[in-house]
Structure 1
Amino acid sequence: MKNIVFWRQLTLISFFGFDCSLSYWPDEPINSIKTRRAIFTSHTQVFKVRIGGEVTFPCAVANLGKDVITWSTGDRLLTAGPVKVYNEERLIHNHNGSEITLRDVQPRDTGQFSCQVNNIKEPMVLKHTLDVLIPPRVVARNPEISVSVFENAELECSGHGNPQPHIRWRRKDGAPLSLSYGEVEGNRLYLQRVGIEASGDYQCIAENGVERMDGKPALETVKLTVNFPPEIDLETQQYYPKIRQEKLEMTCHVKGEPSPDVNWRRGKRVLSGHDQGKYKMSTNTYTGLHTLSLFQVTEEDLGNYTCHAANRLGWSEQTITVSGKPLRPLLLPGHLENRRSYKLRWMIESAFPIRGHNIYYKLVRPGEDRLECSEDDKDGTDRCIMLRMDGRTGERIEFNIKKEMEAVLRDLRPESNYILQVQTINDFGVSEWSEVHKFITIPEPVSALAPWSPFYSSSCIPVPLHIPLYPVLLLLFVSPSLS
């Protein structure tokens, strides 16, 4: 009878489809039969953890019974049940291995961490993946690049981190990268036929979405140097010192790469600061400004001085003239004295005595501003006139002159347009022409009316008299009959 009851209950259990291992003893009650198979309640996961961070791997198991959980990574056994097998201070295991925690995660920890339930039958394995996120880092292949002007240049950086960073380029000074310079993203930046303006610092920036601890971007600077022969710019090519002037400074701006050697020359002689205190040379290495100081200027110091620069790619020079000629005259406001004359005023400045002045004026058509005489002007008229004015002032010889001059232009045409220029002369030559000046003469006055005219006015302006006109008209009509 007992066997019959057992088979009924066994049939009932099979009917409901339980998948379990049963142990039966004929004398044991059926309600003592238990399930022995373990089941994972945790799932496989991928953990993305920033370097230095912390991660916990779960391994929850139902119906574990007396089975043991072990953890391993690669070929290394980490834990077995409550026992920590691998002596790693960063590793902590809890609840008999149902989870482990790894602190201060490092790139070498990247990989799989396996949880295994070791039962009598086939062991069960749950695998987690650890991906260690590493902030970007960038390294320049060559932090300094040097090429000659019009050559091609290639700048290269490599990015490191996880995920693999992408690299973009920019100029440190913020100037845009020209399209002719090629790509602005990628490990390499190609610059084609570089000019002088391409010199400077370029930055390669690596980005992968992982923020750095300092919060700053990962970048590296590559210095590009474009070599070129010297170039010289002058602020002015003419200097007009005064006699016995304490100091005269002449300057030239020099550019070149490599940095040029610069010297000053007078004729074929290279000047030196040891020339009895006459000269002093100074250089501003930041701006490339070179200065020659000349002390206690005398007439013997007049002449040409040369700024000479040279490097391994070539040389250049520019000549500066220390002149004794007068400075360019400065025209001052003049005025018309009458309809046929104009008072001209100008300022002169000369280190040496003035010998004369050239005044060049011309009658022009409205809108015309050409002052040079042409064949059409040589017709015996006053269309193009050059006046020579003596500048000597008696027996006294004047140096370092700065004063105002004036002259009256006469016999001009009324109601006409004139243009003029002035030039100053001394023993060393003539100055530059002044700027062009324009003026217009006043028209001829209106002819006076007869006193008997009804429109006569003492001011010579025709103004009607305030009298009726009909008596005059009547007189005109009646006078024939009187004869």
Structure 2
Amino acid sequence: LREVNEQQLWQLDFLIYLQIKCGVGSYDEMFTNIPRVFLALSRCYVEDRSSKVAWLNRSGIIFAGEDKWSLDPRVELEKRNPLEYSLRIQKVDVYDEGSYTCSVQTLHHPKTSQVYLIVQVPPKISNISSDITVNEGSNVTLVCMANGRPEPVITWRHLTPTGREFEGEEEYLEILGITREQSGKYECKAANEVASADVKQVRVTVNYPPTITESKSNEAATGRQALLRCEASAVPTPDFEWYRDDTRINSANGLEIKSTGSQSLLMVANVTEEHYGNYTCVAANKLGVTNASLYLYSKYGRGERDVQVVLTNTCLCSKYTVTL
């Protein structure tokens, strides 16, 4: 090697290419973040062609001069001019993270410069709880695991009109004594600074026994149609039954029962005196049973009749309502 003077000092630059952006590092040490799958390019320059140069990492020598010692096919030299000695890494992976050293040997002073490569990885949810069904009052634990570098921050949110976000940044969401109001979709979001957050959802179904939410009595005149309505809230959807004086009613003899979802209707096609009175609506599922009383009233009250009186002798026809 021939001797070099102070004006012939080698120089080292480190460039990281992310899509179309690049940054230039210092000569001594630089911490650089690059997303996985992009290209990492470490540029090393010398001003003296006789200098011996090598690239090393924690595993050993990568290149000594132009001789490649590494078996990694993704690693190669880039020499666009005689004084350039750059290290290129294709398809950067997390295992590439670490210290890289460019070592220059001269007659007077061996010189090294080091750069530390930090590989960033977008957040990715790797595991989330499956949709679950539980009974009201149970304790529920939802799990959301995510990978990424930096480590993703995980947040949970109950997807309701209020959109409540739970405090804390935890992989596990604990719900103690869950209520029916806490059923629905829960969103897990994993976020870091590298890319857009990864979001997934889990549905929680809460079973609870029936509760009668509406029971509407009605009134009707004889010979008319009548309708009694009963509604109940329950999960699973309740089954309905109708009773009159402890006797179960079926769809027959002018009576028809129509039950759809949370509502049941008892319809009377042609009301007679025998139809007036108390009816019981029963709603049941596997968790419980409840009932409500409904009444079918006479439109004119007890004992009233609609009577027509015709005075044929005078040809004067009138209509009266009398109480017998």
Which of the five TM-score ranges fits, normalised by the shorter chain? 0.7 to 0.9
Residues 159 and 148 of structure 1: is their aligned pair in 2 closer, same or farther, counting only changes over 3 Å? same
Q: Distance in 2 between matches of 1:174 and 1:202?
A: 12
Aligned length: 298
Q: Does 2:198 align with 1:196?
A: no
What SS is found at the alignment partner of 1:323? strand
Q: Distance in 2 between matches of 1:393 and 1:207?
A: 81
Partner of 2:114: 127
What SS is found at the alignment partner of 1:169? strand
Residues 139 and 85 of structure 1: is their aligned pair in 2 closer, same or farther, counting only changes over 3 Å? closer
1:231–1:256 CA contact under 8 A, matched in 2: yes
How is 1:397-412 mapped onto 2 (pairs within 5 angstroms)?
none
Residues 277 and 80 of structure 1: is their aligned pair in 2 closer, same or farther, counting only changes over 3 Å? farther
Residues 248 and 300 of structure 1: is their aligned pair in 2 closer, same or farther, counting only changes over 3 Å? same
- Please identify the structure whose Cα radius of gyration is greater: 1
Q: Distance in 2 between matches of 1:203 and 1:289?
A: 31
2:221–2:299 CA contact under 8 A, matched in 1: no
Which residue identity is paired with 2:222? Answer: I
Partner of 2:316: none
Q: Distance in 1 between matches of 2:303 and 2:199?
A: 60
2:304–2:322 CA contact under 8 A, matched in 1: no
Residues 85 and 140 of structure 1: is their aligned pair in 2 closer, same or farther, counting only changes over 3 Å? closer
Q: 1:160 deviation in Å? A: 2.2
Partner of 2:274: 300
Q: Deviations over 1:295-333 (max 9, x none)?
A: 344443333332212233321011222222437xxxxxx
Q: 1:57 deviation in Å? A: 0.9
1:141–1:157 CA contact under 8 A, matched in 2: yes
What SS is found at the alignment partner of 1:240? strand
Partner of 1:279: 256
Q: Distance in 2 between matches of 1:128 and 1:257?
A: 61
Q: Does 2:4 align with 1:35?
A: yes
1:303–1:323 CA contact under 8 A, matched in 2: yes
Q: Distance in 2 between matches of 1:326 and 1:121?
A: 120
2:102–2:112 CA contact under 8 A, matched in 1: yes
What SS is found at the alignment partner of 2:220? coil
Which residue identity is paired with 2:305? Answer: P
Residues 265 and 121 of structure 1: is their aligned pair in 2 closer, same or farther, counting only changes over 3 Å? farther
Q: 1:192 deviation in Å? A: 4.2
Q: Distance in 1 between matches of 2:154 and 2:247?
A: 55
**Structure 1: runs of 5+ lacking an equivalent:** 1-20, 22-32, 328-349, 355-391, 397-403, 406-423, 428-483
Partner of 1:104: 91
1:149–1:227 CA contact under 8 A, matched in 2: yes
1:219 pairs with one of 193, 199, 203: 199
1:51 pairs with one of 7, 13, 36: 36
Which residue identity is paired with 1:316? Answer: T
Residues 312 and 426 of structure 1: is their aligned pair in 2 closer, same or farther, counting only changes over 3 Å? farther
Choose between structure 1 and 2 for higher RCO, CA contacts under 8 A separated by at least 6 residues. Answer: 2
Q: 1:211 deviation in Å? A: 1.9
How is 1:211-290 mapped onto 2 (pairs within 5 angstroms)?
211-212=195-196, 217-236=197-216, 238-245=217-224, 248-273=226-251, 275=252, 278-284=255-261, 288-290=262-264
Q: Deviations over 1:160-207 (max 9, x none)?
A: 2111122222221232549xxx73543333434443322222222222
2:221–2:300 CA contact under 8 A, matched in 1: no
1:60 pairs with one of 26, 41, 45: 45
Q: Distance in 2 between matches of 1:304 and 1:132?
A: 76
Q: What is the RMSD computed on CA atoms of the aligned residues?
A: 3.9
What SS is found at the alignment partner of 1:183? coil
Q: Distance in 2 between matches of 1:52 and 1:66?
A: 33
Q: 1:262 deviation in Å? A: 2.6
Q: Deviations over 1:408-438 (max 9, x none)?
A: xxxxxxxxxxxxxxxx9978xxxxxxxxxxx
More helix by share: 1
How is 1:6-405 mapped onto 2 (pairs within 5 angstroms)?
34-35=3-4, 40-42=10-12, 43=27, 44-65=29-50, 67=52, 69-75=53-59, 77-86=61-70, 90-95=74-79, 98-117=85-104, 124-138=111-125, 141-175=128-162, 177=164, 183-212=167-196, 217-236=197-216, 238-245=217-224, 248-273=226-251, 275=252, 278-284=255-261, 288-326=262-300, 353-354=305-306, 394=309
1:145–1:155 CA contact under 8 A, matched in 2: no
1:201–1:222 CA contact under 8 A, matched in 2: yes
Q: 1:78 deviation in Å? A: 3.9
Q: Distance in 2 between matches of 1:269 and 1:140?
A: 54
2:303–2:323 CA contact under 8 A, matched in 1: no
2:38–2:90 CA contact under 8 A, matched in 1: yes
Residues 195 and 98 of structure 1: is their aligned pair in 2 closer, same or farther, counting only changes over 3 Å? same
Q: 1:291 deviation in Å? A: 3.0
1:243–1:351 CA contact under 8 A, matched in 2: no
Partner of 1:459: none
Identity %: 24
Q: 1:134 deviation in Å? A: 1.6
Q: 1:65 deviation in Å? A: 0.6
1:49–1:133 CA contact under 8 A, matched in 2: yes
2:51–2:104 CA contact under 8 A, matched in 1: no
1:140–1:220 CA contact under 8 A, matched in 2: no
Which residue identity is paired with 1:244? Answer: G
Residues 307 and 79 of structure 1: is their aligned pair in 2 closer, same or farther, counting only changes over 3 Å? farther
What is the TM-score with the length of structure 2 in the denominator?
A: 0.73
What is the TM-score with the length of structure 1 in the denominator?
A: 0.52
**Structure 2: runs of 5+ lacking an equivalent:** 13-26, 312-318
Residues 198 and 103 of structure 1: is their aligned pair in 2 closer, same or farther, counting only changes over 3 Å? same
What SS is found at the alignment partner of 1:52? coil
1:241–1:351 CA contact under 8 A, matched in 2: no
